[in-house]
């Protein structure tokens, strides 16, 4: 969001930090993303589609699923999604019928703690992008991409996203 997420911070005594920003709460960068765990490689990748100044609707969600199918051809894809209406659209729900390797799973309503991707968004939005004073969508898009790439490069952080959701990572090659 263009409005910064305000967090407590440290500052020298008598030097209260002030974040100057223009109220543009309706301007944002929407992100569709997944944490792609590959058991054979025992690796986690972050796959994201950015939608500057737009909402995610059914066509964007379906395009994201097609991207996953293209990036992981022939592999079983278990896509675990929350209950965003775009995720539950007819356009998305009919995709497994065309792709036998695609399996859609939906989390219960209001259960972000069960979704590993929510921790990625939390680390990005509420920690690294907190207290920002970004004034335009292109700059917010650039910064969001940089922050998500930074988190994506830290394998222990990505593993902690799964651990927080109570999901154990299984390595088929270690069996």
Domain enclosing residue 148, as ranges: 29-163
In a domain, 168, yes or no: no
In a domain, 114, yes or no: yes
CA 105 to chain CA mean position, Å: 16
What is the per-residue pLDDT across 138-154, written as a single tens digit (0 to 9) for each? 988 898 899 989 999 99
What is the per-residue pLDDT across 22-67, written as a single tens digit (0 to 9) for each? 565 667 888 999 999 888 788 899 999 999 989 999 999 999 999 9
Averaged pLDDT score across all residues of the chain: 83
Q: Beta strand pairing status for 43-52 and 29-38?
A: antiparallel
Domain count along the chain? 1
In the chain, count H helices and then E strands. Answer: 6, 4
In a domain, 111, yes or no: yes
In a domain, 5, yes or no: no
Task: Give me the CATH number covering residue 48.
Answer: 3.30.420.10
Alpha-carbon distance 172 to 9, whole Å?
43
């Amino acid at each position: 969001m263009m409005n910064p997420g305000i967090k407590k911070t440290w500052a020298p005594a008598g030097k209260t930090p002030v974040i100057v920003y223009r109220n543009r709460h309706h301007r944002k960068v929407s992100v569709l993303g997944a944490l792609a765990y590959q058991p054979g490689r025992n690796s986690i990748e972050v796959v994201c589609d950015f939608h500057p100044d737009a909402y995610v609707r059914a066509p964007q969600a379906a395009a994201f699923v097609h991207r996953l199918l293209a990036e992981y051809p022939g592999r079983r894809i278990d896509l675990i999604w929350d209950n965003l209406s775009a995720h539950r659209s007819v356009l998305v729900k009919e995709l497994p019928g065309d792709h036998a390797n695609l399996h859609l799973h939906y989390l219960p309503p209001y259960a972000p703690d069960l979704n590993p991707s929510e921790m990625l968004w939390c680390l990005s939005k509420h920690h690294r992008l907190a207290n920002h004073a970004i004034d335009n969508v292109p700059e917010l898009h650039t910064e969001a991409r940089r922050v998500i790439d930074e988190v994506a490069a830290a394998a222990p952080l990505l593993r902690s996203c799964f651990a927080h959701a109570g999901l154990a990572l299984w390595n088929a090659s270690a069996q």
